[in-house]
């Protein structure tokens, strides 16, 4: 089914997904697969893009509660400052689509801290959901806008921050992805995600997952671990219906992100996980 501007269709699909997950994911898996998040002794600093609201802000609160120095990145200075004051964190201007702000933030982190222990690539958009008149099944403008934030943005941030992560005794990279980007689910008629067709968003998340795999392979000789996570359908501003209709709170969604951000040294790298455990690529 193609997205035709109908929020009712999106809501129906997400409710189907939620029901499917409740049926197939037991609560004990949610609480025991990773264990309780624990700050590693070597972890001191964490940068969260899009950290001023939604999942990003919830993750910031959780990591700050683990005594990390959290750096909330936002596009506007006032948003970064307000969120940082709320959480007890530091704020920095960083727009993932503006390279100058990324490099300035990296220089500031270098000057202030000398290294970075956790990077959460959280910023993301889904403009297709409000594109009521797509030019075709594939709309170039939608791809350009979506990829600028969802793929090229994280890549630019990674390029700038990897030198700082390499200085960490145990760096962690968390790419906030989506099961909607799972090729296995997109091609499996029995999956509740099968009927979702939002090619720009889905391909941007599939590509981000590929970045996770490539980084994990290339960083095997380091202490850096890279994870893709799906937080689920969350009450955020990602779509017009999310805040009122989504079943998962930002605080609940933050759990899997924080788990990935605090992986122990013995944990596997290069995985794709959700609240219920491993997700097929």
- 125, two tokens: 């958009």
Q: Which residue out of 193, 194, 205, 217 is catalytically annotated?
A: 205
Q: Which residue out of 135, 193, 201, 225 is catalytically annotated?
A: 201
The answer to whether 135 is a known catalytic residue is no
At residue 137, what are phi and psi to the nearest 5 degrees?
A: -55, -40
Instruction: List all residues 6 or more positions away from 142 whose beta carbon is below 8 Å from its beta carbon.
Output: 127, 128, 131, 134, 200
Rounded Cα gap, residues 246 and 248, in angstroms: 6
Distances (CA, A) of 278 to 6, 27, 34, 178, 208: 31, 15, 11, 12, 16
Q: Tokens 């997952």: give the residue.
A: 209
> What residues act catalytically?
201, 205
């Amino acid at each position: 089914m193609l997205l035709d501007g109908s929020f009712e269709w999106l809501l129906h699909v997400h409710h189907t997904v939620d029901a499917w997950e409740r049926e197939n994911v037991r609560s004990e898996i949610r609480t025991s697969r990773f264990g309780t998040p624990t700050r590693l002794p070597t972890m001191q600093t964490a940068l969260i893009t899009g950290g001023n609201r939604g999942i990003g802000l919830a993750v910031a609160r959780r990591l700050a509660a683990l005594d990390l120095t959290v750096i909330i990145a936002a596009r506007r200075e006032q948003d970064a400052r307000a969120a940082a004051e709320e959480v007890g964190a530091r704020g920095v201007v960083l727009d993932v689509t503006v390279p100058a702000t990324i490099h300035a933030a990296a220089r500031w982190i270098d000057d202030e801290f000398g290294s970075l222990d956790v990077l959460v690539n959280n910023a993301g958009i889904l403009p297709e959901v409000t594109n009521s008149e797509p030019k075709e099944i594939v709309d170039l403008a939608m791809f350009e806008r979506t990829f600028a934030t969802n793929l090229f943005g994280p890549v630019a941030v990674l390029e700038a921050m990897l030198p700082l992560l390499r200085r960490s005794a145990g760096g962690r990279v968390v790419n906030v992805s989506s099961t909607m980007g799972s090729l296995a689910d997109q091609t499996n008629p029995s999956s509740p995600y099968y009927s979702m067709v939002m090619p720009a968003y889905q391909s941007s998340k599939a590509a981000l997952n590929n970045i996770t795999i490539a980084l994990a392979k290339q960083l095997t000789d380091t202490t850096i671990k890279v994870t893709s996570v799906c937080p689920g359908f969350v009450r955020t501003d990602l779509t017009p219906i999310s805040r009122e209709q989504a079943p998962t709170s930002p605080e609940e969604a933050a759990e899997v992100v924080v788990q990935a951000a605090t992986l122990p040294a013995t944990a596997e790298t290069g995985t794709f996980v959700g609240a219920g455990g491993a997700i097929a690529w």
